[in-house]
Amino acid sequence: MEYQTQLLVVMATYITLLVLWGIYQGRKVKSANDYAIAGRNLPGWAAALSERATGESSWALLGLPGAAYATGLTEVWTAIGCVLGIITAWALISMKLRSEAEKYDINTFTEYIAKKHGSMSKGIRIFGSSTIIFFFFFYVGAQFLGGGKTLHTMFGLNPYVGMLITAAVIVPYTIYGGFQSVVYTDVIQAIIMIITLIVGPIVGIIYIANHPDLFASSIPQALSKAGSHYTTFIDFSGGFSGGIVIAGGFSWFFGYLGGQPQLSMRFMAIKDAKQAKKARNIGIAWTVIAYIGALSLGWIGIAIFGPGGLEDREFVMPSVILKIFPPAIAAILITGAIAAMISTADSLLILSATELTENLIKPLRKKNKDTNNLALSRVITAILAIVALTLAYIIPSKLIYTLVGYVWAGIGSTFSVVILLSLFWKKYSGKAVIVTIITGLLFTILWISFGMDKVITARVMTFIVAAFVAVVFSYIFPDKLKNSV
């Protein structure tokens, strides 16, 4: 009883302070521009920490450690793909995308693409925003589910009750302060997350070394005792199947190339080029450290619990932390997991709301007073939160890894093609943009529905197919004149 009481007190204090901080930041929001993109005035450190907290979500603290716990060294390929994608995004895309956002004076992700390809602006807004909103319902649901799982591990709560609590935390300040509140609460989340991913593995390694009664006393010993397929980088099957394993893990690379709107919006919101360089350095350093820590926590879990010791592999991070730390400290560090879900769920909510408001609803309204748009954005945010929470109860798969992977193909791989070609290929046409978006959406749904994702991941195939379609249709339907609207 005392154990859970300490956990509860620390968690409640953290959550309360976080919500108050988010509401305080929301007081700075005076216009729809502030609500959607923080006036494009973010300092580099805030943008970098917000982007990293949002990008990792429940994946870095639940999904990736869980996969490392279940597969051993094979999961290194996923980490490599993600890290290389993030480094590429910060090094080659972030500053150019920030410059383009300033040039076209945009408020949303789709608005940039629409203005870049002005001749087909209306169609791009409709198809682009609709696709993002559709997929993000599932992504937000995954974050609610992750919060429910973590609260279940900590307090024995029904996971569905935990989902309701997670939603109750993020919705108020997100509705009130929009992007401004989301970014600055993300900063707190990123700090807690990186502390967890540094301190957790260090203490975990010391803990298993000093407890000989556990399954193993070191990570190498744990992997070796768990079985031969835990100690190979290409799985026990080898050959062609081994290549598929490597490609599947590395395929996460493609989703980071500008195609995740919630991440690209952080690039677009940075104040100036000088701040963008600072953001790049912070973002890359955070990523490398975090991924090493996430993998290590999964492998430490094998040493403590054995390869089959946990009912759900995605419980490994909170289970390890609860095992190696006193309750009060464990609660502080496990807030990193809650922080991960929160930092993505609130970002996806505000992005979906502004996409819907600015690109689908606002163009249909006769009067576009800024104050009315701000109020409308807040209402839409609340409605989308309710819909996403409802979907979380009926999604067939309960694995966060699977849910995030689905979004990564439908959104990440498709829009990575759109953003890359919009930034670096002048012949990319407006009509080709629409065809690319539709193709990526339909292909992902069909590919996964027919079970082909088990053969070759949709993250790779969607990128390849979308890129092929984009190039072909740019030559078939070239723009006669590039213009912006």
For the stretch 287-329, pLDDT in tens is 999 999 999 999 999 999 999 899 888 889 989 998 999 888 8
Confidence bin at 482 (pLDDT 50/70/90): low
Please report, to the nearest 10 degrees, the dihedral formed by the alpha carbons of residues 392, 393, 394, 397 taken in order: 60
- Spatial distance between the Cα atoms of 60 and 313, rounded to a whole number of angstroms: 13
Taking the alpha carbons at both ends of the chain, their separation in whole angstroms is 62
Q: What angle do CA 135, 137, 139 make, to 5 degrees?
A: 75
Residue 115 Cα to chain centre, angstroms: 25
Confidence bin at 236 (pLDDT 50/70/90): very low
Residue 484's nearest CA partner among 29, 235, 178, 112 is 112
- Spatial distance between the Cα atoms of 273 and 276, rounded to a whole number of angstroms: 5
For residue 83, the one-letter residue type is V
Residue 359's nearest CA partner among 4, 11, 108 is 108
Confidence bin at 59 (pLDDT 50/70/90): confident
pLDDT at 158: 86
pLDDT at 147: 76
Q: Are 189 and 53 in contact (CB under 8 A)?
A: yes
Residue 356 Cα to chain centre, angstroms: 20
Residue 316's nearest CA partner among 8, 129, 63 is 63
- Spatial distance between the Cα atoms of 418 and 129, rounded to a whole number of angstroms: 13
Q: Where are the domains of the chain?
A: 2-398
- Single pTM value for the model: 0.89
Token pair 């700090």 is found at 191
pLDDT at 481: 59
Q: Are 11 and 335 in contact (CB under 8 A)?
A: yes
Q: Are 317 and 62 in contact (CB under 8 A)?
A: yes
Alpha-carbon Rg for the chain, nearest whole angstrom, is 22
Confidence bin at 485 (pLDDT 50/70/90): very low
Segment 239-254 mean pLDDT: 70
Three-class secondary structure of residue 425 per DSSP: coil
- Higher pLDDT: 91 or 3? It is 91
Token pair 């919630």 is found at 262
Q: Are 144 and 163 in contact (CB under 8 A)?
A: yes
pLDDT at 23: 94
Q: How far is CA 378 from CA 31, 36, 166, 384, in A?
A: 12, 11, 19, 10
pLDDT at 229: 85
- Spatial distance between the Cα atoms of 337 and 124, rounded to a whole number of angstroms: 36
pLDDT digits (tens, 9 = 90+) for 372-390: 678 888 888 999 888 888 8
Q: How far is CA 203 from CA 150, 320, 398, in A?
A: 21, 10, 30
Segment 158-165 mean pLDDT: 86
Pick the CATH number of 2-398 from 1.20.1730.10, 1.20.120.430, 3.40.640.10, 3.30.230.70: 1.20.1730.10
According to DSSP, the residues that pair with 42 across neighbouring strands are 270
pLDDT at 483: 47
Q: How many Cα neighbours within 13 Å face the side chain of 161?
A: 8
pLDDT at 400: 53
Q: How many Cα neighbours within 13 Å face the side chain of 114?
A: 21
Report the chain's mean pLDDT, rounded to a whole number: 87
Q: Are 42 and 54 in contact (CB under 8 A)?
A: no
Token pair 């769920």 is found at 345
